[in-house]
Amino acid sequence: MTSPSPSPRTTTPANVVVFGPGANCTLAICPVELSTYKYRPSLGANAVLLALFFVAMNIHVYLGLRWRTWWFMVFMMVGCGAEIIGYVGRILLYTNPFSYAGFLIQVIFITGGPAFYSAAIYILLSVTIEHLASDLSRIKPVFFYWMFIAADLVCIALQASGGALSTVSLGASQTGVKVALAGLALQVVVLFIFCLSFADYMIRYFLSSGSAGKRPITARMRVFFGFLSLAVLCILGRCSYRCYELSQGYRDSDVITNEGLFIGLEGVLIVVSVFALIVAHPGRVFGCQDQVALESTGRCAEDMSEK
């Protein structure tokens, strides 16, 4: 009795390399089910996401120049730029789902991009404390900035090195998967600690009665806090999804082959967070306050007097 022949939809043609630097598969000779993602990425969805990140990047650059929020602008610009490059990789995968270059580009840049948004968000804690009442903070505001930024750099390094290890091993390295997963998990932990630190300060602010120079929370600041919270929740949701996706590895994951989940929980959530940070832009609340020195220019003083 002869054993059944493998399905033609999952059989690798002779003399063909499916994945890696020497991959020579194309849709003309290989079924898409043999590709890493087992689907052909949607051109329309990925092009729309690319366009939205391009629009958001230009808005953030304009607002950064307008309000002189240099470091916030730089982090948002780099994050959006990374997303744009990443979605170019996704479009390359639409052209050829077996493209090793497309896979590398989207894994590195889409995975790492949101860490820069986290860095931009961390700036806002120290600026908010300095604006409302710095004497109510348990530690100096600038320490929050450097603590969270340093932790964020570790997250980026872990995610990048884990992705590189997995790619070099053609997806077979569990070490690479574990390192990248550690980077994503650490990003979730750091964001959670950030939320606790922000909540702790705000509780101390509302309970205080005799702080010198304590400023009231205006309607504009309430909008700022609302959209900042939305951005943080979106990034937390995205990181949780990517942790679950990566926990199954690159080769055996059912989640990684579901483009709908990717578009919704990676693309849409991050787009929402980027545009939420346009509404919650620090310049709209704090004027053109420098994000590192926490000093104001003459124009800032004019902006603040108008609030």
Please give the Cα distance from 166 to 23 (Å, whole number).
16
Structure tokens at 304: 């603040």
Q: Which of 202, 172, 170, 194 is nearest to 23 (CA)?
A: 170
E strand segments, 186-303: none
Residue 27 clears pLDDT 90, i.e. is over it? yes
**For the chain, which domains are there?**
38-306 (1.20.1070)
pLDDT, tens digit (0-9, with 9 covering 90-100), for 215-249: 889 999 999 999 999 999 999 999 999 999 888 87
Q: Which of 242, 231, 225, 240 is nearest to 272 (CA)?
A: 231
End-to-end CA distance of the chain: 85
Q: What's the mean pLDDT when you consider all of the chain? A: 86
Residue 261 clears pLDDT 50, i.e. is over it? yes
Q: Is 237 exposed, middle or buried (0-12, 13-18, 19+ CB in 10 A)?
A: middle
Please give the Cα distance from 19 to 37 (Å, whole number).
11
Q: Which of 290, 293, 289, 287 is nearest to 305 (CA)?
A: 287
Q: What's the pLDDT band for 208 if we cut at 50, 70, 90?
A: confident
Confirm if 75 and 117 have CB atoms less than 8 A apart.
yes
Non-local (6+) Cβ contacts of 168 within 8 A are 176
Instruction: Specify the higher pLDDT residue, 168 or 88.
Output: 88
Residue 172 confidence (pLDDT):
59
pLDDT, tens digit (0-9, with 9 covering 90-100), for 42-76: 999 999 999 999 999 999 999 999 999 999 999 99
Residue 21 confidence (pLDDT):
84
Please give the Cα distance from 49 to 83 (Å, whole number).
9
* Cβ atoms within 10 Å of 287's Cβ, excluding its own: 22
- Check residue 210 and report its DSSP letter: -
* Cβ atoms within 10 Å of 293's Cβ, excluding its own: 8
Residue 95 clears pLDDT 90, i.e. is over it? yes
